[in-house]
Amino acid sequence: MLIIDTPILVRAIDDNARGQEKRLSDASLLAMAQEVINRLSHISRQSNLDISDVDLDAFCIALVEPTAEDAKRIILRAHERGASHQKLCLSYIAAAACRLGEWWEQDIIHFSDVAIAAGRMLHMLRDLRIATPHIPVRGHREALFATVPGEQHVLGVTMAAEILRGKGWHIDLQVGRSEAELCKIAHDGGYPIIGLSASGADRVRALARTIVELRIAAPRSLIFISGNIVQIEKDIAIRTGADAAASGMDQSLETLESLYQAVMGAASAVP
């Protein structure tokens, strides 16, 4: 249901800021938007940027406009001119997060602007698979299952991994890993699917941070969210830029199969 008078903060992580029924709490939205900006800013400061201030400012302005179309066109044009996935992530998206954070601190823009931009950048990171070289898909059902860094509840994801193994899936289960460790595992493993398990709303910040890192480390992987957080925050996948979310074993199985079929379909479409 479309609610056009929903407060802007509630609509902030919507891809085009057009509004949705309120589900994700204001506190969760605030934590997630802050974490996306902070994490991307940190990544930006560690990289060598090669985008002009004029181009960067134009991209930042486009990210907070009423629709995301101009920002998408800027990214698309950069890709068409030969920008790699790494350059698009670092010299555009991460650099924009750093600049927007500075504008926010200087009171040039409001938090609602930052939140809108954060949501759009999450979705752009998700959609940038087009800018990555094609990698052949492994021929069997395979996924990386991991707890979100800092998550203490591991029983559910451990049981899910065992059940799926019994149904023919190869599941690499990783619990208690840091973001850096998890990203290295995801990058080196080339998993078509990554499942992140989180228990509650207090994990939203860690979830947003981890998804940002994984989108850069493993851009070809599809990401889905499971665990109790899916029951608490019904639109968690939409808001964090994940590809899907699943609650319960039956829904998880159905979701994994759908993602796997999407991966195989994309692979067969490549010449």
Residue 195's domain is classified under what CATH number?
A: 3.40.50.280
Question: Cβ contacts of residue 28 below 8 Å, gap of 6+?
Answer: 201, 204, 233, 239
Residue 201 has a pLDDT of 86
Q: Note whether 240 and 200 are same-domain residues.
A: yes
Residue 54 has a pLDDT of 78
Is residue 149 a part of any domain in this protein?
yes
Residue 147 has a pLDDT of 96
Residue 5 has a pLDDT of 31
Can you name the residues that pair with 195 across neighbouring β-strands? 145, 224
Is residue 11 a part of any domain in this protein?
no
Is residue 9 a part of any domain in this protein?
no
Question: Cβ contacts of residue 215 below 8 Å, gap of 6+?
Answer: 89, 122, 125, 126, 128, 223, 241
Q: Note whether 150 and 219 are same-domain residues.
A: yes
> Under a CB-based contact definition with an 8 Å cutoff, are residues 127 and 185 in contact?
no
Residue 7 has a pLDDT of 33
Q: Note whether 169 and 220 are same-domain residues.
A: yes
Q: Note whether 160 and 222 are same-domain residues.
A: yes
Q: Note whether 60 and 150 are same-domain residues.
A: no
Residue 191 has a pLDDT of 92
Q: Note whether 78 and 116 are same-domain residues.
A: yes
Q: Note whether 83 and 191 are same-domain residues.
A: no
Residue 31 has a pLDDT of 83
Q: Using alpha carbons only, how large is the chain's radius of gyration in Å?
A: 18
Question: Cβ contacts of residue 196 below 8 Å, gap of 6+?
Answer: 146, 147, 148, 207, 210, 211, 223, 224, 225, 226, 242
Ranges in the chain, pLDDT < 50: 1-22
Is residue 152 a part of any domain in this protein?
yes
Q: Note whether 75 and 183 are same-domain residues.
A: no
Q: Note whether 106 and 187 are same-domain residues.
A: no
CA 145, CA 160: separation in Å to the nearest integer? Answer: 9
> Under a CB-based contact definition with an 8 Å cutoff, are residues 167 and 253 in contact?
yes
Strand order in the sheet with 222-226: 170-174, 142-147, 193-197, 222-226, 244-246
Q: Note whether 204 and 235 are same-domain residues.
A: yes
CA 122, CA 57: separation in Å to the nearest integer? Answer: 19
Q: Note whether 123 and 156 are same-domain residues.
A: no
Domain finish residue from 131, 158, 179: 131
Question: Cβ contacts of residue 103 below 8 Å, gap of 6+?
Answer: 60, 109
Is residue 165 a part of any domain in this protein?
yes
Residue numbers of the domain that contains 123: 26-131
What pTM did the predictor assign?
A: 0.83
Is residue 237 a part of any domain in this protein?
yes
Helix (H, G, I), strand (E, B) or coil at 172: strand
Is residue 54 a part of any domain in this protein?
yes
Domain finish residue from 131, 153, 172: 131
- For the segment 95-113, what is each residue's pLDDT rounded down to a tens digit? 999 999 999 999 999 888 9
Domain finish residue from 107, 131, 155: 131
| Domains in the chain, number | 2
Is residue 210 a part of any domain in this protein?
yes
